[in-house]
Amino acid sequence: MDNNIGYRISELRKQAGMSQFQLAKVLDIATSTLGMYETGKREPSLKVMNRIANYFNVTTDYLLGRPEKKDDDTKTADIEDDDVIFTYEGRRIPKEDLELIRRIMRGTRNDIK
């Protein structure tokens, strides 16, 4: 088995200053099970891997040793694209406000009412 997962779990646990007992309790698994994960004798289920990733605020890809994505999930769109729905804090930006933003970005502040 690939020990990469176990190594990463062990490193995350140590960085958090936790014992195997403490982390096992958080994950609701036996300490011996966690020890087997860390030594590569056993691999965590998807359910447990998700718990580990969520607890340490990492991705399951990180735990699996996959390379980080090149893009950062940031979505881009051209402000001039009328087919895109722009939002701010989860609410749709009204067309009038969007037009104001466009004018500001064009540098035509004199047009602002």
With 0.85 as the threshold, say if the pTM is over it: no
> What are the sequence ranges of the domains in the chain?
4-64, 75-107
What is the second-level CATH architecture of the domain 4-64? Answer: Orthogonal Bundle (1.10)
Tens-place pLDDT, residues 61-96: 999 988 765 445 556 777 777 777 778 777 888 888
Which residue from 56, 3, 2, 63 is spatially nearest to 27, judged by alpha carbons? Answer: 56
Tens-place pLDDT, residues 27-51: 999 999 999 999 999 999 999 999 9
